[in-house]
Amino acid sequence: MTENSISFIVCSNGYGHIERVSRVINELLNLRTTLVLNLFAGTQQINFAKSQGYFRDFVNVSFDSSLSEFEVLWTDGGRFSKNNYFEWWKELYSNEVLQKSHLIVSDNYVLPSRIFDNVLLMGSFLWHDSTISMNSDQKEIAKEEKRFLTRNKPSLLCLGDMVMEDTLYNQVKLEKLPWFAESVSTSNNGTNQNGILVTGGGTGIMTSFLMEIAVNLKNKKPELDIYLDKKIFESEESARFRDLFRQFDFTADSFSNLKAVICRPGIGILTDCVSHRIPIFAINDNFNKEINHNSNRIIELEIGLSYKIKDYKVWEIVDSILATINDDIEIQNFKNALNKRQMGGAKATANFILRKLDGKY
């Protein structure tokens, strides 16, 4: 293992985490071709990263899904246990690639920084601050992680617009960065956009509720082109209505045909919306603090609207969305706010990592 070896440990919850890291890896390879990069993530996340074509080549990048077998799932309180946490600790500690890495970047997980000295954290939140419902083991580990961070104050590479600053300011050193995307220039100027994407992200937590929204939208305004993500499109809930919708392929051309996105507001889809300047209608399921926080930030940044499902019936959400997308002034205001968001976070992160690697930070 060379001194230019960097390992990334990526959370295997959905696809937003791997998308962000993949963009950073691509920028690292553009800046320094001699790097040896190791990507640890779940099998689905690795396959997604490869399919998106983020990497210029695979020669300098190794992919390893073995650690995900032991990965602690903070979002599922029923499966989290101290035994699981310390089993993962042992697997990380004994991994030869991690032992020999010159630098380790851990996306959203604190544990690697408790094991190795050369760890940068990445994310706009950390799991122990995000999960609402915790079992006793989670609560105990959360306290341990917070004590560790407060004592050591490692750097956290974060998206400045979305970072959960109120919970993190006394635990880490925040390195605020722009959005992990580039602004996409589309040939469609918005005058003939008629598409609405309904997506719940990789977790599939809100499939049923979002499917209800899609059906109601189509019933009330049949001329709309309603797109569904793969998980919703292939769900049992969509089987009776599948001929009414199209599956979205998440390409730049497809995004250029969208007038709005209705989503559970994870960072992945929000990054796509900011990059393509598409107004956001966030559906807040109140499942964790990250989603609550992201929903609030959408309002504060004036890039869309947000609805807590406990406060609205489906038809009320649909009526509000339809009224808004028919209001050209309000839609333009959202787009103007989206235009103000700073891009280039992946390249800025890559440069920060290289400075750290070279001992200049």
Q: How far apart are CA 164 and CA 101, in angstroms?
A: 29
> What is the average per-residue pLDDT within 190-209?
80
Q: Assign 203 to helix, strand or coil.
A: coil
Condensed to tens digits (0 to 9), the pLDDT of residues 286-336 reads 777 889 999 999 999 999 999 999 899 999 999 999 999 999 999 999 999
Question: Quick check: 345 and 177 in contact, CB under 8 A?
Answer: yes
Q: Is the pLDDT of residue 285 over 60?
A: yes
Q: Could you tell me what percent of the chain has a pLDDT over 90?
A: 65
Q: Nearest 5 degrees, angle CA 191-CA 192-CA 194?
A: 125
- This prediction has a pTM of 0.88
pLDDT, averaged across the chain? 90
User: Quick check: 190 pLDDT over 70?
Assistant: no
Q: What is the DSSP string of 321-348?
A: HHHHHT-HHHHHHHHHHHHTS---HHHH
Query: Does the pLDDT at position 41 exceed 90?
Result: yes
pLDDT bracket for residue 1 (50, 70, 90): very low
Following CA atoms 232, 214, 130, 40 in sequence, which dihedral angle do they give, to the nearest 10 degrees? 30
Q: How high is the pLDDT of residue 128? A: 85
Could you state, in order of their start, the residue ranges of all structural domains in the chain? Answer: 5-182+344-357, 195-339
pLDDT of 107 reads 93
Alpha carbon distance 202, 346 (integer Å): 21
Cα–Cα distance for residue pair 257/194, rounded to 1 Å:
7
Category of 204 on φ-ψ map: left (φ > 0), alpha (ψ -120 to 50) or beta: left
Of 203 and 313, the structure prediction assigns the larger pLDDT to 313
pLDDT of 202: 66
Q: Has residue 78 got a pLDDT over 70?
A: no
User: At the top level of CATH, which class does the domain 5-182+344-357 belong to?
Assistant: alpha beta
* Strands annotated E in the chain: 5-10, 36-40, 61-64, 103-107, 119-122, 155-159, 173-177, 195-199, 225-228, 246-247, 258-263, 280-284, 304-308
For 261-281, the pLDDT digits (tens) are 999 999 889 999 999 999 999
Residue 57 confidence (pLDDT): 64
Token pair of 173 as six digits: 């050193």
pLDDT at 189: 47
Q: Is the pLDDT reported for residue 77 higher than 60?
A: no
Rounded to 5°, angle at Cα 156 from 150 and 157: 170
Predicted pLDDT of residue 181: 86
Decide which of 241 and 3 is more confident: 241
- The yes-or-no verdict on residue 340 having pLDDT over 90 is yes
| Right CATH for 195-339 from 3.30.450.20, 3.40.50.1580, 2.60.120.10, 3.40.50.2000 | 3.40.50.2000
5-182+344-357 and 195-339 in the same fold = yes
Q: For residue 37, what are the CA distances in angstroms to 26, 33, 44, 56, 347?
A: 10, 10, 19, 13, 16
Residues 122-162 have pLDDT tens digits of: 999 888 887 777 888 999 999 999 999 999 999 999 999 99
* pLDDT value at residue 247: 95
